[in-house]
Amino acid sequence: MKKFLLVLLFALSFNAYSENFESTSDGTWSGNNWSPSPLLNLADKDTITMNHYISISGNNNLSGLDLVIIINDTFNLSGGNNSFLKLGAFSQIILNGTMISDASGGNDNKIRIGSNLYSESDLINFPSGTTLMEGGALPVELLYFSAAIIKDAVVLNWETGSEKNNDYFTIEKSDDLEYWQVVSYVLPRSDGKYQYTDNISEDIYYRLTQTDIDGTLERLEIQRINLNYKLVEGFKMDSDEKILSFKVYDINGQVVTQDYSGFKIVIIQTNKQVYNKKVLDK
């Protein structure tokens, strides 16, 4: 119980006053392509979200800051053989995209998180879905995390490909990506399939976090709920039906987790039956 409380206090303190920096276009680490800008005005516990191609060069020593860096596009370790990014021991890099290096020869482009050093050859070979931290990659493989309004409720759905030493998941919500409120804790399941239902209140963000049995945290993914869009208004369900899970696929058969516009196939499993419907939203 003491360990759980310490983990909870750490999670809340890490995010209560953090700021989120997001890229606004392709550019550089030190450029003006950030909101807020520039990125150089970083403080402890801030989050950096790269939604575009970003390159970094030179020696960037941020070892005094614990940051969360989310790479959703491409992060290029450029600038010859001398790109170095040093981060605090509690920092995390969540790789949803790719890391590359356009340096010629050598293996001197590195990232250090605390005492853990990642070389250039390590970084460019990490697959999407990897989380880097001082102790290495965390042991939960998230397949998807989706959020939608179904039957006048917010339904969160996620699935893991593998779990090792997973203690629990935390669901949080925020209206500004800065202050996060804990909504619920979810214990591991043997089948790796999870669902949570929340009341509708406003346009809001949901964040999924995983905690290892040693207390290590991994910020897995963030999804946004738009009250102007309900995923399956055409579905007719009984008032006592409980949604167990849902999946949305695009025309290519790929799982869709957030942008539900256009052609899609929606599959919803309830406690009574499975709904399968093709939907076209213009």
Q: Which of 69, 100, 132 is the last residue of a domain?
A: 132
Find the domain containing 183 and state its range.
Answer: 140-281
Do 244 and 266 lie in one domain? The reply is: yes
The structural domain count of the chain equals 2
Q: Which of 111, 132, 153 is the last residue of a domain?
A: 132
* Of residues 53, 107, 68, the one with CA closest to residue 84: 107
pLDDT score of 100:
86
Do 154 and 239 lie in one domain? The reply is: yes
Do 73 and 174 lie in one domain? The reply is: no
Do 271 and 247 lie in one domain? The reply is: yes
Do 172 and 269 lie in one domain? The reply is: yes
Residues paired with residue 277 on neighbouring β-strands, in sequence order:
266
Do 272 and 145 lie in one domain? The reply is: yes
Q: Which of 132, 167, 186 is the last residue of a domain?
A: 132
pLDDT score of 211:
87
pLDDT values of the chain reduced to their tens digit, one per residue, 282 residues: 444 433 343 444 444 456 889 999 999 998 899 998 877 788 888 889 999 999 888 888 898 898 889 999 999 887 555 678 899 888 888 888 888 876 554 456 688 888 788 877 778 877 777 778 776 655 677 888 888 777 677 888 888 887 877 889 999 998 888 888 999 999 988 888 898 888 877 778 889 998 887 787 788 888 877 665 555 555 566 666 666 666 677 766 676 665 555 566 767 777 777 766 665 554
Do 162 and 270 lie in one domain? The reply is: yes
Determine the Cα–Cα distance for residues 34 and 279; give it in Å rounded to an integer. Answer: 36
Determine the Cα–Cα distance for residues 277 and 88; give it in Å rounded to an integer. Answer: 48
Determine the Cα–Cα distance for residues 93 and 136; give it in Å rounded to an integer. Answer: 10
Determine the Cα–Cα distance for residues 19 and 45; give it in Å rounded to an integer. Answer: 8
Do 14 and 118 lie in one domain? The reply is: yes
> Which parts of 117-237 fold into alpha helices (H)?
120-123
Do 270 and 146 lie in one domain? The reply is: yes
Q: What is the pTM of this model?
A: 0.47
Do 78 and 156 lie in one domain? The reply is: no
Span between the terminal Cα atoms of the chain, in Å: 50
Do 57 and 176 lie in one domain? The reply is: no
CATH for 150: 2.60.40.10
Do 144 and 113 lie in one domain? The reply is: no
